[in-house]
Each structure stands twice: as C-alpha cells, then as structure tokens.
Amino acid sequence: MVDKMNVRVYATAIKDNQVLVLHEEYAGTQLMKFPGGGLEYGEGTLECLKREFDEELNVQIKVLGHFYTQEDFLVSRFRDNEQLLTIYYLVEIVDVNEMIIRDPCIEKAEWISLDRLDNPFPLPVDQIVFNLLKESML
C-alpha cells in the first residue's frame, strides 16, 4: 500500500549544449541523475532546489523557469510505500568555478552532451526530461 508522498525537485543546468548530471550510489544502485533532491517540510520547491545546490555542489543558482512536472502515477523504485512526484526547473549556475562536490554520496558531477544518441538515465522520469531537453535544443 502506498502511504507516503515523496516530492522531488530537480534542475536542468545547461551550458554549451550540455546538461549537468550527478553520479551517485543510492540504496546500493549506481545512478546518474539531475541535481536536486527531496522537498523538506516547510519549504517551497525553489527553496529546495537552491538548498540542494548549495549543500551538494557549493553553488548558487538562478531559476529560469519551470521545465517539467511528472503527470503519471509513479511508485518509488527504492520504497514500495512511496508515491513520487518529480518537478524539474531550468536553472543557471551563477559561478560554475565555485562548484565543489560537498555531498559524500556524489561520486562525480559532469556535463553530458545533449547531442548524444542514447539516453543514459536509468530513472524513467529523468529519461523523459532528457528527451524533452534534446527536443528543446533543436
């Protein structure tokens, strides 16, 4: 039975036709994902995104606008009792030179090309967002 909502807020930071991704291990699984994370009680989605970038990557961001909100029902891959809701924003990193990985769970951050033919994301909503980003760059 699903009895908990998990709101996730992510960013698509684009530079030179590349998007920023993070590589991390979560629940024993290697993931490539967009930067961001879980909404905490009492904060708004944009506050969450700014906090996550500060905590994980030591950078400030400028939110350019909403990009995508998942519309379908989705149960967490990692917890059977959680329904996920994911929201994605377009962002700009204020000073990329300040980027330092602060979160020990993050193995690396990299910029991947939006021109690549494959979709490298393991999570289904990230796959949708990557395809939409590629389409929007045409």
Question: What pLDDT shows up at residue 33?
Answer: 96
Burial 3-29 (b: 16+ CB within 10 A, else e): eeebebbbbbbbeeeebbbbebeeeee
Q: According to the model, what pLDDT value does residue 81 have?
A: 78
Q: For the chain (length 138 residues), average pLDDT per consecutive 10? A: 83 96 87 96 97 97 97 74 90 97 95 95 94 90
Model pTM score: 0.90
Domain layout of the chain by residue ranges: 4-136
pLDDT at 2: 52
Structure tokens at 110: 């990299």
- What is the distance between the alpha carbons of residues 6 and 94, in angstroms, rounded to a whole number? 28
Predicted local confidence at residue 116, as pLDDT: 94
The answer for residues whose C-beta is within 8 angstroms of residue 113's C-beta and 6 or more apart is 17, 18
pLDDT in tens, 79-93: 677 888 999 999 999
**How do residues 102-124 score in pLDDT, each as one tens digit?**
999 999 999 999 999 999 999 89
| CB of 96 closer than 8 Å to CB of 16 | no
DSSP state, residue 39: P
Q: What φ, ψ does residue 111 adopt, rounded to 5°?
A: -100, 125
pLDDT of 29 reads: 81
Using DSSP bridges, classify how beta strands 4-15 and 18-26 pair: parallel, antiparallel or unpaired. Answer: antiparallel
Q: What is the pLDDT of residue 48?
A: 98
DSSP state of 114: T
Tokens of 47: 């506050």
| Class of CATH domain 4-136 | alpha beta
How many other C-beta atoms lie within 10 A of the C-beta of residue 85?
A: 16
Please name the amino acid found at residue 10: Y
